[in-house]
Every structure is written in structure tokens, then in C-alpha cells.
């Protein structure tokens, strides 16, 4: 058994796309992850997170590239467009604005996962 599976933790990987999120879950004692796809909306992410009652044993990794969620929000959400316009008036480039939006989305997801987690969170550096 690999050291990851033996740690007793559940690992959650999210790869965000325009309309969907690819989800990989590696549970304790498993050698290969279970891969699934959910809709790219808040209720679907909430249902996914609710599947893990012991969030203190959950480790998550989120990825959204330049074709990910932030571009869909720029296209569809007036508040996001207004935010981007303000940041550009501050002198940020389009690329810098997209990076800011990626960080906002990551913070929102982390807040969802943060609920009911223990005070001490293990940080894992990915090379």
C-alpha cells in the first residue's frame, strides 16, 4: 500500500472547466482514485463537500487554468466584470486580473472546505 493511502486521509482533486469540474477522490486504503464529473456551480460543489463528513481528514487541491472558471465568470457575471474593470483602472493587465479572479475562486472554495475543519491544517507542498 502506498504511503498516501496509508495516511488515513482522503485526497480530493478538482480540475475546473467552463461547465463541469473533474473530481478525483483517493480514499484511505485505495490505490487508485475514483474519478467523476460534477456541474460547475455552487450547489454541486456543496453536495460534493457534504459527501465528506470528517473534513479534518480531507486534503484538497484545486486547479483552474486560463480557460477555467474565472473566464466564465467574466463572461456571465456583472459583478465580476465590474471587479475586473476596477482592477484594470488600477493598472492591472488582463492577465493579472485573471490571476486575481483565480485567487478569489480558490478562496471561496477553501472557505467551503474550511468549515468543520480542525484548527490545525496540514499544508502539503506540491513540487
Q: What is the pLDDT of residue 100?
A: 86
Q: What is the pLDDT of residue 124?
A: 57
pTM above 0.75, yes or no: no
Distance CA 58, CA 115 (A): 12
Q: What is the pLDDT of residue 85?
A: 93
What residues have CB less than 8 Å from 102, skipping those under 6 apart?
Answer: 64, 68, 69, 70
CB atoms within 10 A of CB 76: 9
Alpha-carbon Rg for the chain in angstroms: 16
Q: What is the pLDDT of residue 37?
A: 93
Q: What is the pLDDT of residue 104?
A: 82
Tens-of-pLDDT digits for all 127 residues of the chain? 444 545 688 888 888 877 888 899 988 888 888 899 999 888 898 899 888 888 888 888 877 555 566 777 777 888 888 999 999 999 999 888 888 888 887 777 777 666 655 555 555 555 4
Distance CA 96, CA 70 (A): 12
Amino acid at each position: 500500500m502506498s504511503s498516501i493511502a496509508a495516511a488515513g486521509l482522503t485526497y480530493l482533486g478538482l480540475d475546473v472547466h467552463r461547465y463541469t469540474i473533474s473530481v478525483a477522490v483517493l480514499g484511505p486504503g485505495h490505490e487508485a482514485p475514483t474519478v467523476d464529473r460534477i456541474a460547475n456551480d455552487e450547489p454541486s460543489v456543496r453536495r460534493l463537500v457534504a459527501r465528506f463528513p470528517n473534513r479534518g481528514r480531507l486534503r484538497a487541491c484545486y486547479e483552474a487554468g486560463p480557460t477555467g472558471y474565472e473566464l466564465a465568470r467574466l463572461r456571465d457575471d456583472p459583478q465580476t466584470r465590474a471587479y475586473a474593470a476596477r482592477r484594470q483602472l488600477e493598472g492591472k493587465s488582463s492577465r493579472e486580473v485573471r490571476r486575481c479572479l483565480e485567487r478569489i475562486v480558490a478562496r471561496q472554495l477553501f472557505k467551503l472546505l474550511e468549515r468543520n475543519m480542525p484548527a490545525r491544517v496540514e499544508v502539503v507542498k506540491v513540487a
